[in-house]
Amino acid sequence: MKWGEKKQPTTPVEGGPASKARILLVDDDRDLVDVLTLVLEQQGYRVIAGYNATEGMKLAEEQRPDLLILDVMMPEGTEGFHLVWRLRARPESWFAQVPIIMLTAVHQTTPLRFYPDASDGTYAPGEYLDVNEFLDKPVEPAELIRTVERVLRGAHPGSQLVT
């Protein structure tokens, strides 16, 4: 390709990166978003980025991604939690079913623990926050990819979506 020449789009190969899941990543740390986008895109995922809960909600409504990865703590507090509650409260089935991974450093700074598959004595599994997984920051790239693949397989069994 010559300087200044635009790269022509290629036809997606069946099962190739173009058929990978679309992931909405919402975190106020732009550097982290850049790094995680690179990690996910290297695996063929298509990443849509938002930097606060308002952008995240708008992108979720417009793009309807296959998976959301949300930070808990953003500039206005626990925006990630509020975003999950707002998404899950919507009447359309997509909002109730889209898989969500919470990415958080909360576990480093407080004894508070969130587990979507176990009770904490107050809330039943998944009752407090209806998400599929929690990942602690900093997350190792391999752990992120394993978790994304596991959540997508569980959320879209038998689909043509490549994980």
Boundaries of domain holding 50: 17-154
Within-domain flag for 5: no
User: Is the Cβ–Cβ distance between 98 and 129 less than 8 Å?
Assistant: no
Q: Looking at the 3D structure of the chain, how many domains does it have?
A: 1
Within-domain flag for 8: no
Within-domain flag for 11: no
Can you list the positions of beta strands (E) in the chain?
Answer: 22-26, 46-50, 67-71, 100-104, 133-136
User: Is the Cβ–Cβ distance between 28 and 53 less than 8 Å?
Assistant: no
pTM: predicted TM-score of the whole model, two decimal places: 0.74
Within-domain flag for 4: no
Residue 72's domain is classified under what CATH number?
A: 3.40.50.2300
Within-domain flag for 162: no
Within-domain flag for 140: yes
Within-domain flag for 57: yes
Within-domain flag for 161: no
pLDDT tens, per residue, the chain with 163 residues: 344 443 333 333 334 444 589 999 999 999 999 999 999 999 999 999 999 989 999 999 999 999 999 987 666 656 677 888 899 999 999 999 999 999 987 544 444 445 545 555 554 544 557 889 889 888 999 999 999 999 999 876 555 555 4
